[in-house]
């Protein structure tokens, strides 16, 4: 969430420390700060609000409240401190035909003057990346980012005398949104409609309709503030590919009790900057939030956190939160505030105590070893398979579980080419072989040898599979590919103590590893962990390589290592690999054939550059009286 430092500071009458200190306080006690950016004479904090606290923290008030606890600075003002009373219900008709609306309230304001927002409001919204539209819409948006409660303003001329009806959409109904996009609904979607004509006015919790929006000649508005079912809101938004600031708050469970606070605040702001008079309002409540008390003992707090807090220290932290609680014989009974639906069990309260006290005070303690009671057979034998294949020269790969086309379709795909779950590992392995085959020379290997252990999905369920593939650099199926797979399976069978036989197709074999493991004996202990040797990694070049071969006759006394050293020294730093790929003896001479791979880390090499280097190599060979073949 984008948070304005100046906006936060209004909650403290300007008493906050510098923005960097605020960011540090959040980092060590609450939220990850993803970015800090100067915007004019303000500072913008990009606060990573996690889902478990998003129901109250997707707002400046929520962030300010948490900051007041962290810094132990009381809020100068808090819109949620006192209960809001909207008075007696009046004449706006509201009909709820679905439980997806948990609370709905509307207020009719007459005599408003639509126009530009005051500079302070424009600045506040633009600082957090919002476009100023007009004073009515800006007031609604400001309150949403301030309190976390969305609202929507309708032009009263388009509502009708009978008010609103909240209902399920009908299959095929359409609405053009404020963004100019036409949306088509299903029966599972929830909409706000006119009660008299049944005409759709807005998509519940997501987007207002274009024809009922505020225009320059609007004089009477009806402000709607509601609370919508999180699951229905998200499903509709996902299907329509529509995600808004309002829907993100409903999806994360902002509570119905926020509705009157949102309405009261947005009305006050509209009257201040656009004039007018509230002539009527109506409210329907479908659902209320029931919060239970949370009981936690001092012993449990200290056991979970690994601390030795006293009753007074815990009480001090609870008082900083402003929560109602009772302490009795080191037992705390906490009554969470209405917006804190994340406080359900003792561990929730302990987490809050721990982060405010400071995780830096918690000392790491190595737990006592306990006997291993259960051996994961599938994990054990999967490791045996890995060790066996890696020892045989194979490399393990990990590929995506998503495919562009397959048997099992995903309801909400991440991308158009990831709409299905894979039913086999073969296709991914084949693609990996084809992509890596041209790099065999660069890698200094004769064949690409890879395997993958992964889950596949089909109509009968999930299966753990093993797929093994071999491919020569040429790209076609070489005679040497099949024997490698056969020998690898034989070696694997010896390691498992169970014959492994499967026919390969095109240099690829796939085995149902889950079924194979089920046939293997149970195990009582895991293998001893082998400490890997130290390895230094360096960045690889993204530029293509060029390959040159050189073959030569040398006397039988010449050492292969010496020849390689001479070739490398002459070829220079652009030669990244020298591989012997052929050797034979005849008439007292030895024939060596080497493959030299050239590559740069900062450019694509040209043939002329490499040919020039090879000329030097040939010259060096001739100087030693070696005969180039």
pTM of the model: 0.69
Q: Examine the domain organization and report whether 349 and 217 are in the same domain.
A: no
Q: Examine the domain organization and report whether 332 and 313 are in the same domain.
A: yes
548 and 598 Cβ atoms separated by less than 8 Å: yes
Provide φ and ψ at 589, rounded to 5°: -110, 160
- CATH number for the domain that contains residue 182: 3.50.40.10
Q: Which residues of 290-299 are buried (b: 16+ CB within 10 A; e: fewer)?
A: ebeebebebe
Give the list of residues 6+ apart from residue 371 with CB closer than 8 angstroms, or none.
none
Per-residue pLDDT at 256 exceeds 70: yes
Q: Is residue 267 very low, low, confident or very high in pLDDT (cuts 50, 70, 90)?
A: very high
Per-residue pLDDT at 83 exceeds 90: no
Cα within 13 Å of Cα(170), Cβ side: 5
The pLDDT value given to residue 188 = 95
Scanning 477-606, the segments in alpha helix (DSSP H) are 481-496, 513-518, 560-571
Q: Is residue 572 very low, low, confident or very high in pLDDT (cuts 50, 70, 90)?
A: very high
Per-residue pLDDT at 439 exceeds 90: no
Residue 628, beta-bridge partner list? 552
Tokens for 151? 């609202």
Q: Is residue 217 very low, low, confident or very high in pLDDT (cuts 50, 70, 90)?
A: very high
Q: Is residue 562 very low, low, confident or very high in pLDDT (cuts 50, 70, 90)?
A: very high
Q: Is residue 559 very low, low, confident or very high in pLDDT (cuts 50, 70, 90)?
A: confident
Q: How far is 273 from 268, CA to CA, in rounded Å?
A: 9
Q: How far is 221 from 213, CA to CA, in rounded Å?
A: 9
The pLDDT tens digits for 86-103 are 766 678 999 999 999 999
Report the percentage of the chain scoring pLDDT > 70: 98
Q: Is 519 exposed, middle or buried (0-12, 13-18, 19+ CB in 10 A)?
A: exposed
The helix/strand/coil state of 576 is: strand
Per-residue pLDDT at 211 exceeds 60: yes
Q: Examine the domain organization and report whether 418 and 487 are in the same domain.
A: yes
The helix/strand/coil state of 518 is: helix
Tokens for 178? 């404020």
> Which of 421-425, 511-515, 531-535, 557-561 has the least mean pLDDT?
531-535
Mean pLDDT of 125-145: 97
Residue 540, beta-bridge partner list? none
Residue 535, domain member (yes or no)? no
The pLDDT value given to residue 356 = 96
The helix/strand/coil state of 402 is: strand
Residue 367, domain member (yes or no)? no
Per-residue pLDDT at 362 exceeds 90: no
Q: What is the 3-state secondary structure (H, E, C) of 593-618?
A: EEEEEECCCCCCCCHHHHHHHHHHHH
> Which of 524-533, 583-592, 603-612 has the least mean pLDDT?
524-533
Residue 133, domain member (yes or no)? yes
For the chain, give the mean pLDDT: 93
Q: Which of 254, 285, 316 is the last residue of a domain?
A: 285
Per-residue pLDDT at 609 exceeds 60: yes
Q: Examine the domain organization and report whether 99 and 10 are in the same domain.
A: no
196 and 161 Cβ atoms separated by less than 8 Å: yes
Q: Is 43 exposed, middle or buried (0-12, 13-18, 19+ CB in 10 A)?
A: buried
Q: Examine the domain organization and report whether 130 and 265 are in the same domain.
A: yes
The pLDDT tens digits for 313-360 are 999 999 999 999 999 999 999 999 999 999 999 999 999 999 999 988
Q: Examine the domain organization and report whether 115 and 253 are in the same domain.
A: yes
Which is higher by pLDDT, 438 or 267? 267
The pLDDT value given to residue 534 = 84
Q: How far is 554 from 202, CA to CA, in rounded Å?
A: 85
Q: Which of 79-93, 495-509, 599-613 has the highest mean pLDDT?
A: 599-613
The pLDDT value given to residue 446 = 83
Residue 381, domain member (yes or no)? yes
- Count Cβ atoms below 10 Å from residue 175 Cβ, excluding itself: 24
The pLDDT value given to residue 5 = 97
Q: Examine the domain organization and report whether 274 and 327 are in the same domain.
A: no
Q: Which of 255, 285, 315 is the last residue of a domain?
A: 285
Binning the chain into helix, strand and coil, the percentages to the nearest 5 are 35, 25, 40
Mean pLDDT of 162-183: 96
The residue range of the domain holding 317 is 294-361
Q: Is residue 75 very low, low, confident or very high in pLDDT (cuts 50, 70, 90)?
A: very high
Q: Examine the domain organization and report whether 511 and 558 are in the same domain.
A: no
Give the list of residues 6+ apart from residue 342 with CB closer than 8 angstroms, or none.
52, 53, 55, 56, 348
Residue 87, domain member (yes or no)? no
Give the H/E segment covering residue 399: none
Per-residue pLDDT at 476 exceeds 80: no
- CATH number for the domain that contains residue 53: 3.30.56.10
Q: How far is 550 from 620, CA to CA, in rounded Å?
A: 12
- CATH number for the domain that contains residue 555: 3.30.70.380
Q: Examine the domain organization and report whether 355 and 395 are in the same domain.
A: no
Residue 199, domain member (yes or no)? yes
How far is residue 513 from each of residues 289, 376, 450, 463, 467, measured CA to CA in Å? 49, 14, 16, 8, 9
Q: Examine the domain organization and report whether 340 and 489 are in the same domain.
A: no
Give the list of residues 6+ apart from residue 358 with CB closer than 8 angstroms, or none.
28, 29
540 and 579 Cβ atoms separated by less than 8 Å: no
Q: Examine the domain organization and report whether 508 and 616 are in the same domain.
A: no
Per-residue pLDDT at 371 exceeds 90: no
Q: How far is 140 from 149, CA to CA, in rounded Å?
A: 9
| Extended strands (E) in 351-432 | 395-396, 402-403, 408-409, 420-421
Give the H/E segment covering residue 250: helix 245-251
The pLDDT value given to residue 277 = 94
Tokens for 573? 């730093």
Number of domains in the chain: 5
Of the candidates 453, 460, 458, the residue with the CA atom closest to the CA atom of residue 516: 453
- CATH number for the domain that contains residue 447: 3.30.930.10
Give the H/E segment covering residue 161: none
Q: Examine the domain organization and report whether 121 and 254 are in the same domain.
A: yes
Q: How far is 1 from 31, CA to CA, in rounded Å?
A: 11
Mean pLDDT of 63-74: 96
The pLDDT value given to residue 474 = 67
Per-residue pLDDT at 431 exceeds 70: yes
Q: Which of 21, 39, 71 is the last residue of a domain?
A: 71
The pLDDT value given to residue 527 = 82
Residue 530, domain member (yes or no)? no
104 and 266 Cβ atoms separated by less than 8 Å: no
The pLDDT value given to residue 426 = 94
Mean pLDDT of 516-527: 90
- Count Cβ atoms below 10 Å from residue 591 Cβ, excluding itself: 15
């Amino acid at each position: 969430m984008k948070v304005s430092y100046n906006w936060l500071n209004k909650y403290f009458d300007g008493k906050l420390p510098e923005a960097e200190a605020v960011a540090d306080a959040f980092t060590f006690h609450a939220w990850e700060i993803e970015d800090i950016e100067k915007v004019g004479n303000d500072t913008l904090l990009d606060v990573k609000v996690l889902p478990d606290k998003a129901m109250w923290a997707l707002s400046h008030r929520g962030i300010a409240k948490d900051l007041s606890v962290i810094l132990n600075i009381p809020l100068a003002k808090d819109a949620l401190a006192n209960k809001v009373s909207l008075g007696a219900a009046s004449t706006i008709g509201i009909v709820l035909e679905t439980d997806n609306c948990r609370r709905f309230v509307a207020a009719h304001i007459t005599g408003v003057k639509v126009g530009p927002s005051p500079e302070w409001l424009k600045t506040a919204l633009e600082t957090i990346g919002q476009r100023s539209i007009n004073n009515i819409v800006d007031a609604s948006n400001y309150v949403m980012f301030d309190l976390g409660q969305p609202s929507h303003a309708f032009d009263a001329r388009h509502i009708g005398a009978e008010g609103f009806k909240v209902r399920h959409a009908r299959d095929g109904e359409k609405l053009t949104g404020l963004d100019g996009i036409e949306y088509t609904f299903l029966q599972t979607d929830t909409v706000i409609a006119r009660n008299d004509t049944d005409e759709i006015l807005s998509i519940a919790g997501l987007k207002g309709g274009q024809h009922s929006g505020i225009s320059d000649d609007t004089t009477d508005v009806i402000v709607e503030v509601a609370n919508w079912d999180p699951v229905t809101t998200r499903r509709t938004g996902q299907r329509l590919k529509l995600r808004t600031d309002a829907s993100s708050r409903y999806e994360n469970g902002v509570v119905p009790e926020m509705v009157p606070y949102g309405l009261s605040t947005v009305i006050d702001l509209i009257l201040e900057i656009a004039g007018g008079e509230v002539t009527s309002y109506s409210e329907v409540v479908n659902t209320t939030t029931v919060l239970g008390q949370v009981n936690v003992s001092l012993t449990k707090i200290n056991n979970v956190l690994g601390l030795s807090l006293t009753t007074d220290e815990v009480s001090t932290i609870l008082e900083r939160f402003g929560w109602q609680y009772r302490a009795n014989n080191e037992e705390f009974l906490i009554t969470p505030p209405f917006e804190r639906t994340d406080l359900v069990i003792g561990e929730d309260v302990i987490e809050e105590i721990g982060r405010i006290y400071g995780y830096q005070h918690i000392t790491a303690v190595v737990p006592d070893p306990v006997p291993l009671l259960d051996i994961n057979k599938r994990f054990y034998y999967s490791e045996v398979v890995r060790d066996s294949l890696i020892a045989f020269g194979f490399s393990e790969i990990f590929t995506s579980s998503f495919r562009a086309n397959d048997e099992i379709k995903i309801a909400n795909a991440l991308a158009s080419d990831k709409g299905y779950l894979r039913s086999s590992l073969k296709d991914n392995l084949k693609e990996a072989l084809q992509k890596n085959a041209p790099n065999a020379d660069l890698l200094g290997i004769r064949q690409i040898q890879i395997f993958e252990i992964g889950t596949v999905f089909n109509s009968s369920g999930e299966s753990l599979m093993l797929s093994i593939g071999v491919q020569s650099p040429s790209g076609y199926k070489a005679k040497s590919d099949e024997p490698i797979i056969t020998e690898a399976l034989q070696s694997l069978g010896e390691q498992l103590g169970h014959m492994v036989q499967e026919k390969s197709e095109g240099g690829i074999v796939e085995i149902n590893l889950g079924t194979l493991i089920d046939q293997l004996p149970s195990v009582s202990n895991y293998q001893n962990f082998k400490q890997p040797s130290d390895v230094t990694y360096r960045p690889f070049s993204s530029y293509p390589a060029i390959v040159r071969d050189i073959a030569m006759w040398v006397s039988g006394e010449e050492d292969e290592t010496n020849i390689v050293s001479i070739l490398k020294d002459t070829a220079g730093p652009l030669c990244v690999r020298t591989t012997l790929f052929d050797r034979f003896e005849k008439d007292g001479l030895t024939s060596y054939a080497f493959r030299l791979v050239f590559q740069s880390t900062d450019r694509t090499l040209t043939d002329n550059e490499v040919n020039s280097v090879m000329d030097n190599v040939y010259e060096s060979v001739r100087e030693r009286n070696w005969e180039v073949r």
